[in-house]
Amino acid sequence: MTRPLDGITVVSLEHAIAAPFCTRQLADLGARVIKVERPGEGDFARAYDQRVHGLASHFVWVNRSKESLTLDLKQPAAMAVLRDLLAQADVLVQNLAPGATARMGLGRDALRNLNPRLVACDISGYGNDGPYRDRKAYDLLIQSEAGFLSVTGNGDQPAKSGNSIADIAAGMYAYSNILAALLQRGRTGQGSHIDVSMLEALAEWMGFPMYYAFEGAAPPARSGAAHATIYPYGPFATGEDGMVMLGLQNEREWKSFCAVVLRQPALADDARFSSNARRHENRKALEAVILGVFGRLTPAQVTALLDEAQIANARVNTMADVWAHPQLAARGRWREVGSPAGPIPALLPPGANDGYEYRMDGVPAVGQHTDAILRELGRSDADIASLRAASAI
């Protein structure tokens, strides 16, 4: 089947997570993604850990279905290769330091002169201008700057996200902006420049707590894994040292929860708990009631009662549980892809489309496709040998 981005070539000057996550989504849709890496060590994310048969967990997650081209961009001969690639590419994605591509002679105007149809996307911590432009920006630092840490954790203790949420947010906005730019190019024939900021991406995701604290109002309190403003909504301990996650969304569910799960129908009309705002205000008292009931039951018994009452609930899964999740297996979401360490499992991208299948190719070794790409660009074997002798590739 034809994929949406078949025939689209993406060149990426990428490292770490944000840009690689963006370009992997493009590769999933059929784009050819040429990942430019440093000769020898490649993307520094390759060395984050060795958890996947000796490969880094971050790297295998965001770099399947790509081609690896090694270039030392400090050398003119390597820059000439990059310019040849960009002259015929559709998309450039980069998350180098702000201003780095301009210093390389690949600023906005230079790229437009080289290839007017090119869609160029910069991903940075704070954007290409403003007083924070040149500040170093890592995922945890952006979580802090965007206020994410102010609403996560428990009490006075903040907690970072367990995944790279700022990088993921920026990568997804880069991905959607690139898709929009390609649609626009189809109408105008012209490429465009995209400036994606990690701070702005995560700030958008902070919309609820920001508006909750509108005009100086108190922000949502840190509440661990529980919802900050809806109650009961979160994890609750059961007998046998178990835990269940549940969530109530409306008064109909509250009445059902009291009657079926707690076996205390009169509690629904208790003045302390008769609306979500009151339940939130008196959550300690209500928590004691809930835990008093749940503590006499096993996790399975609590879940059965919640299902009977049609109250949303979930298991508090570990990573091992997710690997073995029956719903992912039943929907056929796993595939096997190649890697320098052999076959590894990989999840299909979210969203099943009956018009095409996602591209699910292997994770590349450093420089695995360098010679083939150079030959496509017209370099002879002697040229390639010369580049390699000079450590330009």
Give the active site residues. Answer: 167
Cβ burial of 243 (10 Å; 0-12, 13-18, 19+) is middle
Q: Between the CA of residue 365 and those of 102, 303, 338, what are the distances in Å?
A: 29, 46, 10
Phi, psi of 335 (to 5 degrees): -130, 170
Q: Which two tokens stand for residue 145?
A: 């700057």
Do residues 278 and 270 touch, judged by C-beta distance below 8 A?
A: no
Question: Which DSSP letter does residue 10 get?
Answer: E
Say which residues have a Cβ less than 8 Å from residue 232's Cβ, sequence separation at least 6: 246, 247, 248, 257, 279, 283, 286, 287, 290
Q: Answer for the pair 67, 37: CB distance below 8 angstroms, yes or no.
A: no
Instruction: Please say whether the beta carbons of 238 and 298 come within 8 A.
Output: yes
Torsion of CA 168, 173, 177, 179, to 10 degrees: 50
Tell me which DSSP letter residue 342 carries: S
Backbone φ and ψ for 360, nearest 5 degrees, come out as: -135, 70
Closest CA to 18 of 168, 176, 178, 195: 168
